[in-house]
Amino acid sequence: MVVAERKPIQEIMAMVAEYNKILLVGCKGCVTVCCAGGTKEVGILASALRIARKKEGKPLEIVERTLERQCDPEYIEQASDVIEKDGVEAILSMACSVGPQYMAKRYNIPVYPALNTTFIGGALEHGVWAEFCQACGNCIIHYFGGICPVSRCSKSLFNGPCGGSAKGKCEISPEVDCAWQLIYDRMKDLGKLDELAKVFPVKDWSTSRDGGPRKVVREDMKL
């Protein structure tokens, strides 16, 4: 899932400083799962903003809404009743950055992101998420025992650990596992260590951040 976290309140306060009534809109997708932008987080941020603005003597009216998803037009449409009838002056979105972009495309009022979209990751334990994918566009984890060197090696190396690996940890932090130690251990368990002797060629990054915005088309799914 996409993992995100809330921007500092002061940054959000500055975004909405000029408005008297806004729509604070959450998303029931990934950002609900990573506890950044679901119904609960909408409630907390709304209260915090109202309190902060009351303190400044300039009350802020906030309409709270959480959509099924903000990355699909049909769900974006569900906010139209609020935006077109309630007289909100701006939208503050608690989705990943797709959400505010879709809201901005549909509604002709200013849209602001309340979250920083951090990475594609998974839960390690309750309240802890880690990066597992950088969406490079050409998955190669099967060569590396199911462990992604692009996202989990700090240097995205493809041919073994660097000189900074020590006792299974990465040189950037003793908290971070060396991905290449993980890969080595996993390949050893699988009895496939010899496969690591092969030199992996330079990766084709043209599927990653190259050639403009990427697009997936499924002709069989199109209506």
Partner 1 sequence: MPTFIEGLSDEPRILAFCCMYCAYAAADAAGSMRLSYPVNVHVVLVPCSGRVDETFILQAFENGADGVYVAGCEEGSCHFVNGNFRAKKRVIALKKLFAEIGLEPERVEMFHISASQGGLFAKVARDMTERIRSLGIIGWNKRN
**SS3 assignment, position 27:** strand
DSSP type of residue 55: H
Residue 24 near residue 88, CB atoms below 8 Å? no
With respect to partner 1, which residue has the nearer C-beta, 64 or 185?
A: 64
6 forms beta bridges with: 115
Pick 127 or 191: Cβ nearer partner 1: 127
Residue 56 to residue 52: CA distance in whole angstroms: 7
Pair 43, 50: CB distance under 8 Å = no
Contact window for partner 1 (CB under 8 A) among 4-12, 14-22, 80-88, 192-200: 4-12
Asked if 139 is part of the footprint of partner 1 (rule: CB under 8 A), the reply reads no
Residue 48 or residue 140: which is nearer to partner 1 going by CB? 48
Could you tell me the two tokens for 215? 């697009």
Q: In whole angstroms, how close is the CB of 2 to partner 1 at the nearest point?
A: 22
C-alpha 202, offset from chain centre: 27
Beta strands 115-125 and 128-133: pairing type? antiparallel
> Looking only at residues 56 through 115 of this chain, which bind partner 1 when binding is defined by CB under 8 A?
57
Question: Which CB sits closer to partner 1, 28 or 203?
Answer: 28
Query: Is residue 212 within the footprint of partner 1 (CB under 8 A)?
Result: no
**Residue type at 101?**
Q
Distance between CA atoms of residues 42 and 157, nearest Å = 39
Contacts of partner 1 in 11-50 (CB under 8 A): 13, 40, 43-44, 47-50
User: With respect to partner 1, which residue has the nearer C-beta, 26 or 145?
Assistant: 26
From 2-10, 18-26, 104-112, 194-202, span contacting partner 1 (CB under 8 A): 2-10
Q: Does 172 bind partner 1 (CB under 8 A)?
A: no
* Binding interface with partner 1 (CB under 8 A): 8-10, 13, 40, 43-44, 47-52, 54-55, 57
